[in-house]
Structure 1
Amino acid sequence: MVTQFVLRKQKKNAAGECPVQMIVYFDGARLACSIGEKCKVTDWNADRQQFRRSYPLAEDANRLLARLTADVLSWWRTLRATGEAPTLAGLRAALRPAPAAKVAVVEQYSLTQLNEEHGLALRARGYADHTLRQRKMMGSWLVAYEQASGELLDPTTYDLATHDRLLTYLRFDRNLAQNTVASVVRGLKVLLRWCREERGLAVGVELRKLQGRHADVVKMWLSADDLKALATVMLPEYLGRVRDVLLFCCYTGLRYSDVWALQPGNLHEWNGARVLRLVQTKTRTGVSIYLTEAAGAILDKYADRERLRLLPVLANQVMNRYLKRVGKYAGLTAPVVVAEQVDGVIIKSSVPKYELLTTHTARHTFATQSLLRGMPVEVLQKVMGHAKIQTTLIYAKVIEDLQHQTMRRVWEGQGAMDSTGAQSSQICAVEPSAA
């Protein structure tokens, strides 16, 4: 086999350039093919069959000629091994091989990374810290699942099978409560909707099909007798402070985060009395709360202390631990039935009331006691800072006393309420507690 490169001067174009042609001789057969390069006659060295230095990028062009020669030689050896005859089409294919098929690169996304971006977006948009903490907690569970299973949670491939594997891990491998898992599912749906609507990703599952059932939990609240027992029980000083904070929240409906942040600037005069004006930490809703005599007495008890906060509020976990001691001292030992779902089976057990006492019990107590005293639901909604009245109505549904009183009054004409809307036996006339 012999290979030559020639300049076809008879094919000169308007710019004075001539095409370079490759001629290959195979045992008497001759094949000619253009290599796609052109140059002027003065840029071509016919003796050496290569480009002169005057040709732009002559070194690269001559390397091309050498590579073409090697490609044709390799092609010729393949033909001899298979016994095939050389053809012009084969020569052209050897000189210009078809480009290798591009391997499609599938871009992958991680819900854990996207959750971090979502959290930054929510923070920039001014969402409350409570919401940001929920997103961060959900992200930690997603990270734990990816590390434990070795499976990337990609929103574009997330399907019901993946969802069930995630729930199985959270519920059984990590022993999370059913409502905690339901909260993760709720946050996951928010994240996937954000991926689809704001990041343009093709989410691979219908969000309505992502299930995570929420179990109803009975809201525990304190009766008027419970409040009286708490207010009058003798306690060590450190527990007395914890008890006072609890009672103050029972009289005002404040969450732990709000009572912890109370400052002198939240106190205002109103019509000869005092009110609290604050922006709730969780919802950032502005509320105004009238201070009853009992609530005001608790504030006055700690007024002489120089500090930034109005009340001696401890860390929430410490408060909850101490409150169980307070409840036990106060005799809150009535059994309360609690239900837990384990492997789809409802398991019920009785525990003393004081074991369920937490700082949030005070908020439930304020709501239920306010309704028992005849406070309109619309007013209670404003005091508690609920965005939707449906949230406030939850308390009306769980107050059996209110239901029974109403039925007795309507059907039997008994149990008439006083001017406040509650029976005298339900009025919580609690005197300010002693130190």
Structure 2
Amino acid sequence: MYKKGCHDNYVGANIKVIRVFFNYLKNDKDFYTGDFQRLFYVRKEEIDIFVLSPEQLKFLIHDKAFETQLLPSEHRIKDIFVFGCTTGLRYSDIFLLTNKNFELQDGEWYLKLKSLKTKTFSYIKLPNYAIAIFQKHQPKSDKTPVFGKISLFNFNKTLKKVGEKAGFTTVIEVSREKQGKTQKITKKTDITQNRFCDKMSSHMMRRTAITTMLILGMPEHLVRKISGHSHSSSSFNRYVHYAQAYMDKEISKVHSKLESY
């Protein structure tokens, strides 16, 4: 697999399946093949997290000149993406939303739902721009999904075009690991594949929402509650580390001003 260009996560996932299979033969089917599978080492790599900065998210929310450049299909994807970057919902949960998930209480709009993946309940207050997105796409029937239907492939393909029109074209470096060694992944033949906009996908919505909440000062335990992460979630800790790097950078600016006299 390594000779074919595979990386640690893919190789590790396959080794894990093989190990589980031989354990199944031994423990469930009484078919003894030895204990060699116990020696299998499952490698795992930490893949870079790509998220929008608060400034980039605000650009997508508020810039009217940018919106005039978008086709109707791109405008719809932009709206869904912004909604996801605000609420932190998973892609699967967003396209299950109906009018019944939106509730008006004392003049404030709330989003209430049960996660399809974790079965946890969320009750999220919505900002004005998210309410405007809901009302723009609100269907007449309570049984019809608010954002309709679209394949994941077409969503990601269109989102990359939206990112390109937004000017999110900074060239970035991507690192992956093979046998524990970090390698930079670049495609010299096509520089466009190394741009930020080409890394935009449905996964970026939830990651952006969580990281933005942390960066802008929301307490960690509240972000966990909104995003549906358990207290021991290792995946959530990656967002904390990302936000910590941002906070370290900002506090360094403060320190530099204090150190000069």
Name the TM tier (shorter chain). 0.7 to 0.9
**Distance (whole Å) between structure 1 residues aligned to residue 15 and residue 46 of structure 2:** 16
Counterpart Cα distance in 1 of 2:90 and 2:106: 26
Query: Matched residues in 2 for 1:188 and 1:271: separation?
Result: 56
- The letter for the 2-side match of 1:393 is N
- What is aligned with 1:299? 134
- Provide the rounded CA distance (Å) in 1 between the counterparts of 2:107 and 2:123: 15
Q: Which residue is 2:164 aligned to?
A: 328
Residue 246 of structure 2 is aligned with which of 397, 401, 408? Answer: 401
* Separation (CA, whole Å) in 2 of partners of 1:271 and 1:201: 64
Displacement of 1:256 after TM fit? 0.9
Residue of structure 1 in register with 2:196 after alignment: 353
Task: State the 1:384 CA deviation.
Answer: 1.1
Kept after mapping to 2: 8 A contact 1:267/1:275: yes
1:154-213 Cα shifts (integer Å, max 9, x gaps): xxxxxxxxxxxxxxxx4445x544322222233444455555555555462365531232
Aligned-pair CA distance for 1:398: 1.6
| Structure 2 counterpart of 1:159 | none
Q: Find the aligned partners of 2:122 and 2:29 in 1 and give their Cα distance.
A: 36
Go from structure 1 to structure 2 and tell me whether the alpha carbon gap of 1:352 and 1:268 turns closer, same or farther (over 3 Å shift): same
Q: Would you tell me which structure has more strand in proportion to its own residues? A: 1
Question: 1:404-425: CA deviations, max 9, x gaps?
Answer: 224555x4577xxxxxxxxxxx
SS at match of 1:222: coil
Residue of structure 2 equivalent to 1:4: none
The equivalent of 1:385 in structure 2 is 228
Match of 1:218, SS state, is coil
> CA 1:187–1:282 in structure 2 vs 1: closer, same or farther (change >3 Å)?
farther
| Aligned twin of 1:222 | 52
- Measured against aligned partners, the alpha-carbon deviations of 1:302-325 in whole angstroms (never above 9, x if no partner) come to 125556101134111110011110
Q: Which has the larger radius of gyration?
A: 1
- Output the TM-score relative to the length of structure 1: 0.50
Alpha-carbon distance in structure 1 between the residues aligned to 2:166 and 2:32:
58
- Give the letter aligned to residue 96 of structure 2: A
SS state at 1:336 partner: coil
- Contact 1:320/1:357 (CA < 8 Å) preserved in 2? yes
The residue aligned with 1:309 is 145
- Please report how far the alpha carbon of residue 392 of structure 1 lies from its aligned counterpart in structure 2 after TM superposition: 1.6
**Other structure's SS at 1:288 match:** strand
Q: How far apart are 1:291 and its partner, in Å?
A: 1.7
Alignment of structure 1 residues 159-238 onto 2, 5 Å: 170-172=1-3, 175-197=5-27, 202=32, 204-205=34-35, 209-231=39-61, 232=63, 233-234=66-67, 235-238=70-73
Following superposition, which runs of at least 4 residues in structure 1 exceed 6 angstroms of deviation? none
What number of residue pairs does the alignment pair up?
Answer: 243
Q: Aligned-pair RMSD on alpha carbons? A: 2.7
Structure 1 window deviating more from structure 2 (177-186 vs 365-374): it is: 177-186
Structure 1 gap segments, 5+ residues each? 1-169, 415-435
Aligned residue number for residue 95 of structure 2: 260
For 1:206 and 1:407, how far apart are their aligned partners in 2?
51
Q: Which segment is superposed worse, 276-285 or 291-300?
A: 276-285
State how far apart, in whole Å, the 1-side matches of 2:219 and 2:118 are.
Answer: 22
Whole-Å Cα distance in 2 between the matches of residues 201 and 299 of structure 1? Answer: 56
Which protein has greater RCO, CA pairs closer than 8 Å, 6+ apart? 2
Rounded Cα–Cα distance in structure 2 between residues aligned with 1:191 and 1:296: 49
